[in-house]
Homo-oligomer: A and B are copies of this chain.
Amino acid sequence: MAGNGLLDRRHFLQGGALAAAAVGAGGAATAETLTKAPWMTAPGTPFEGYGQPSRFEAKVVRIAGNPPNAPGTGASRTPLQALNGMITPNGLHFERSHSGIPDIDPDAHRFLIHGLVKRPLVFTLEALARYPMTSRIAFIECAGNSAVLFAKDPAAATVQGIHGLVSCAEWTGVPLAPLLDEAGVDPKAEWLLAEGADAAAMSRSVPLGKARDDALIALYQNGERIRPANGYPMRLLLPGYQGNMNVKWLRRIKLTEGPTHTKDETSRYSLLQQDGRVAEFKFPMDAKSVITQPSPGLAMKGPGLYEISGLAWSGNGKITRVEVSADGGQSWAPAALAEPVLSKALTRFRLPWRWTGGSAVLQSRATDETGYVQPTRAAQIAARGARGIYHCNLITSWGVAEGGEVKHVYA
């Protein structure tokens, strides 16, 4: 049994266990004892063509980094502490833009496949949309997510500020492989260049093997056309790979013999090693997890039963196990994983916790189907040093103080 109040993951569902969690017991409450609320006394508002969140949720928004110096250039983070489940709603999916969000007319947009192919192809959106589609629920994570965990001191930040560059959606579009077959790939081609139609012409090199495996030209995000901030009218989806390789506003794919070494992969997104050398290419995002509730800014409200809840993901397959510790990693208890557990998608984990009111250090640790286990901070820094800023997937610690305040700590 794990220490400091962690309970069995099935505990809450066992008969009789809940009484301890009773809150707001009603005594002799009846429907009449509840004051008639003002919203029951007059008709509500009419229908909207496109609905919006409640005005009481106005604080649940993405927070952008780098303003006001470079409008639209930087990143905008998902408020993970306010969300639950595995899907990120489209309005809150994180974004990373290199020169703002282009306002693309879908009828004027063209997508080109060229380079080392027998037959270059140009697609309108309408032409592309006639091809067979597939759907998959996949996370996208910016390679620079969580980089602050390498800093010397813990961050005075929320989970949004630290880990908010990861989101998950159902993406629907046209698999790339049959399009490449139609263009007729030259046997010399082993890579491709993918370029966006933003003003930065953001571009990345992708191994042909990944393009043939599970790459998608995504047209829809959670059922509707992709949002402008996420690549409207089309983006490349490379499940599990570094976020910016999932090129938004995709305008061309050029088949090449080797990588193109674009500005976006030499000046950024490369991995500084312990020995000072740089690894230019590390594509899949390794297994990672983070507790979203409780987390900094969400103070505990008195001793009692709570649910610890968070997200786990791996760019290399399915999450097979998430463990939670309430004593800074001395003991661990397995969390329940919410179905469906999908490859390269966010997985929600949950575990009941009886908080005594004392101090605690909460951690989560993910394992994926390759057997890879999320490393401690000490282990990741020992392996890589602390000067790199990409692919940070070390275990995060939330310190719970007596009184209930939650803060980022190192443990």
Contact = CB atoms under 8 A, between A and B. Distances in A.
Contacts of A25: 119-122
Contacts of A13: 132, 175, 177-178
Contacts of A230: 51
Interface string A100-142: 1111111011101110000111111011001111111100000
Given A34-B251, A105-B56, A40 B223 contact: no
Contact of A224 (B57, B136, B233, B339): B57
A114 B179 CA distance: 60
A342 B50 CA distance: 27
A219 interface: yes
A44 B121 contact: no
Given A31-B252, A47-B64, A181-B18, A86 B350 contact: no
A371 interface: no
A227 B51 CA distance: 8
A220 interface: yes
What's the number of copies of this chain in the assembled complex?
2
A122 B197 CA distance: 54
Given A133-B309, A199-B41, A87 B350 contact: no
Given A104-B37, A123-B24, A51 B198 contact: no
B31 A254 contact: yes
B126 A301 contact: yes
A83 interface: yes
B199 A44 contact: yes
A216 to B, nearest CB: 12
A243 interface: no
Contact of A47 (B112, B113, B126, B229): B229
A170 interface: yes
A131 B122 CA distance: 53
A137 to B, nearest CB: 8
A156 B108 CA distance: 32
Contact of A103 (B44, B53, B95): B44
Given A53-B227, A71-B43, A223-B88, A132 B83 contact: no
Contact of A50 (B61, B134, B338): B61
A172 B223 CA distance: 19
A53 B130 contact: no
B62 A47 contact: yes
A91 B52 contact: yes
A379 interface: no
A187 interface: no
A267 interface: no
A340 B88 CA distance: 17
Contact of A85 (B40, B86, B126, B172): B172
Interface string A11-46: 011011011011111111111001001011111111
Given A24-B123, A34-B112, A199-B39, A49 B29 contact: no
Interface of A: 12-13, 15-16, 18-19, 21-31, 34, 37, 39-57, 60-64, 67, 71-74, 76, 82-93, 95, 97, 99-106, 108-110, 112-114, 119-124, 126-127, 130-137, 169-172, 175, 177-179, 181-182, 195, 197-199, 201, 219-225, 227-230, 232-233, 249, 251-252, 254, 301, 304-307, 309, 338-340, 342, 348, 350, 352
27 contacts: A15-B181, A18-B182, A24-B121, A24-B122, A26-B114, A37-B108, A44-B72, A45-B103, A46-B72, A51-B62, A51-B92, A51-B95, A53-B224, A53-B225, A54-B228, A55-B103, A56-B106, A84-B172, A85-B171, A87-B170, A87-B223, A92-B223, A130-B305, A132-B352, A135-B338, A137-B340, A340-B340
Given A39-B198, A135-B338, 12 more contacts: A18-B131, A29-B121, A34-B110, A41-B199, A46-B71, A47-B74, A47-B95, A48-B62, A51-B62, A51-B229, A130-B304, A130-B307
